[in-house]
Amino acid sequence: MTDIATLERDVLVAIDTAADEAAVEDVRIAALGKSGSISALLKTLGGMTPDERKEKGPQINGLRDRVQGAIAARKEALGEAALEARLASERVDVSLPVQEGPEARGRIHPISQVIDEITAIFGDMGFAIAEGPDVETDDLNFTKLNFPVGHPAREMHDTFFFAPDANGERKLLRTHTSPVQVRTMLAEAPPIRVICPGRTYRNDSDQTHTPMFHQVEGLVIDKSAHLGHLKWILEEFCKSFFEIDDVKMRFRPSFFPFTEPSMEVDIQCSRKGGEIRFGEGDDWLEILGCGMVHPNVLRNCGLDPEVYQGFAWGMGIDRIAMLKYGMPDLRPFFEADVRWLSHYGFRPLDLPTLTAGLSS
Ligand code: DAH
């Protein structure tokens, strides 16, 4: 009898002091499990005389029932306490303003935006996109573009060269996107209408030059492409890109080894109050180089200049981005400063299209 009372007290104390549901479960196993203390008592009933069983049976069974009841009650209390604690720690204040998700906070870099704008404009005119590698051969960057070996125009490009490889070939970081013209003419038969946006490299650094920058090249080759077409394309591009109704352009004679004749193009602007505005004023700003593709370049690319002709142009993407969006210094473009990006960047889901607006 004392045994049973002591055991009951001990087990009930253990149940009451169990800190969590797992500890209660340990007590249950120790008492009511296969080799638990109360299970052992229950087993003794089988070996008792009927009289003994009559006396002890209700005591032992009563003990088991009370312990089972205490365990169930403790488990429920602990479960409720755990739920309360969780609810308290995970409480949300539904009156707080919703935090913006990454898709709303992220920003598209102005260079990516401007490339998308350029692609939308020329895509609408029927141009395809062509790409080439940043690491280029001397042959494609210079020789095939009619820069003879030793020609001073090569020096003007401030080229980054790699160390010569096992065959003595010296690769370079392309100094312009013009090698993509050559790659396109070598790979495709005319008529050709492509633009080639991409990274370019020159050893130069100041407020408006960085060693890595971006250009977009344009190339049209067929049997009758002429400068009138080029002029129309560039005018339409400038109107769309700068989002103005009319633009005056000035074509000045210039020199590039890969075009003949070669020209530089200025667009009309005003610089009143230090701010550049397009489509008005009587000042000029240079924005690109262009010309008729040189017969030597056509020949170098396997095209017969007696049959095919065409024009090309090259434009600095960073420069027109700075002009359009009023960013005075090029260097922060490549400093990966999120404060600059959140100021000058574009919302990711506003894709530039001609119909919905380029830079809304
Ligand atoms: N590749 C020239 C440069 O980087 C730009 C250029 C001028 C490209 C005239 C052309 C062109 O395609 O016709 O300075």
- State the distance from the centre of ligand 1 to the C-alpha of 253, rounded, in angstroms: 13
**In whole angstroms, what is the distance from residue 252 CA to residue 237 CA?**
18
**CA 296 from chain center: how many Å?**
40
Per-residue buried b or exposed e for 223-245, using 16+ beta carbons within 10 Å of the residue's own CB: eebeeeebbebbbebbbbbbeee
Query: In the beta sheet, which residues pair with residue 197?
Result: 216
- State the distance from the centre of ligand 1 to the C-alpha of 26, rounded, in angstroms: 81
Amino acid at 92: V
| H/E segment holding residue 269 | strand 259-270
**Do the annotations mark residue 260 as ligand-binding?**
yes
pLDDT in tens, the chain (360 residues): 458 889 999 999 999 999 999 999 999 999 999 999 999 999 998 899 999 989 999 999 999 999 999 999 999 999 999 999 999 999 988 898 888 888 888 999 999 999 999 999 999 999 999 999 999 999 999 999 999 888 877 777 899 999 999 999 999 999 999 999 999 999 999 999 999 999 999 998 888 789 999 999 999 999 999 999 999 999 999 999 999 888 889 999 999 999 999 999 998 888 887 777 787 888 888 899 999 999 999 999 999 999 999 999 999 999 899 888 888 888 899 999 999 999 999 988 878 888 777 876
Q: What angle do CA 352, 357, 360 make, to 5 degrees?
A: 80
Query: What lines the ligand 1 site, CB under 6 Å?
Result: 176, 178, 217, 256, 259, 289-291, 312-314
Beta strands at 172-173 and 192-201: parallel, antiparallel or unpaired: unpaired
pLDDT at 360: 62
Minimum CA distance residue for ligand 1 atom 4: 176
pLDDT at 1: 47
Of 154, 180, 256, best ligand 1 pocket probe by most atoms within 8 Å of the beta carbon: 256
Instruction: Give the DSSP letter of residue 108.
Output: B
Q: Which two tokens stand for residue 29?
A: 């196993």
